[in-house]
Amino acid sequence: MHNRAVTFFRGIQDRICEELARADGGATFREDTWERAGGGGGRSRVITDGAVFEKGGVNFSEVFGELTPEFAKQLPGDGTRFTAAGVSLVLHPRSPLIPTVHANFRFLTHGSKAWFGGGADLTPYYPFQEDVVHFHRTWKRVCDAHAGIVDFAKMKRDCDDYFFLKHRNEARGVGGIFFDYADATEAMFAFVREASGAFLESYVPIIERRKSLAYTPKERAFQEYRRGRYVEFNLVYDRGTVFGLKTDGRTESILMSLPPVVRFIYNYHPEPGSREAELTDYWLKPKDWAGMEE
């Protein structure tokens, strides 16, 4: 299954990059290949200064080797040998009216244990209900097609719980789906393949609806401020970041997820009743988005 997963993840990286470059229309992905000293390597593909994407990356990696005994105890399985393969992406659009998006799908083994993990989540700054509903309905459709293997309600709930900044008591975004440590059965692999393929359907229509809309300097400044929350989550809580750093992964690829321009403002509070305040007062509260009208 490891070899089949590697082949699939390589292919889905190609497909996603092709479609995102087409949606951007102004830039293409630059590829860096790299090798890991302890075993394996990957292909990092980054797009910068595009018509849509200020910065984005779609990474493939296949690594293997030895875990430290301390880190091995934190994972399912036994011993210290591991393998990991997957595709991970983060896209930071220039426009504050287009949400940041993250997705990753991965296959890991640790001794006698093998599992899949992954998901996708949306981080808007000035949300449109049509976009948020569309994103969640896409993932519900995929999950419902694999009913009995996965459960959308649970994956959505796990996503809301996972992408939460405890030190802020605040969600990072409007969620999506999240799963981890799912036994590596053929049925689960089938779900991972379909979910990976659904990413473009979940996100590209949002780009097309919003990329021609004008925005103000104030909206851009607020986007840069909210990007700070993204940085905080990825450096403090993100399992992929921790796993990559703990296993001597390529730092440039691991931290590809960080936005290019961020604004940290001391003790900032948006004006009550403003669209900026509405983000945290309404949109970042978990809701049944898939059940709402677009």
Catalytic residues: 102
Task: Give the 3-state secondary structure percentages of the chain, helix then strand then coil, rounded to 5.
Answer: 45, 25, 30
**CA 56 to the chain's CA centroid:** 11
DSSP letters of 181-205? EEE--HHHHHHHHHHHHHHHHHHHH
Could you tell me the two tokens for 266? 């001391």
Give the single-character DSSP code of 289. G
Give the type of residue at 232.
E
Give the C-alpha separation, 223 to 212, whole Å. 17
Beta strands in 49-128 (DSSP E): 53-66, 81-93, 100-110, 113-123
Give the C-alpha separation, 91 to 230, whole Å. 12
Cβ proximity of 94 and 54 under 8 Å = yes
Question: Left (φ > 0), alpha (ψ -120 to 50) or beta: where does 168 sit?
Answer: alpha
- With b for 16 or more beta-carbon neighbours within 10 A and e for fewer, the 136-149 pattern comes to bbbbbebbeebeee
Q: How far separated are the first and last CA of the chain, in Å rounded? A: 39
Give the length of the chain: 294
Give the C-alpha separation, 101 to 98, whole Å. 9
Helix (H, G, I), strand (E, B) or coil at 118: strand
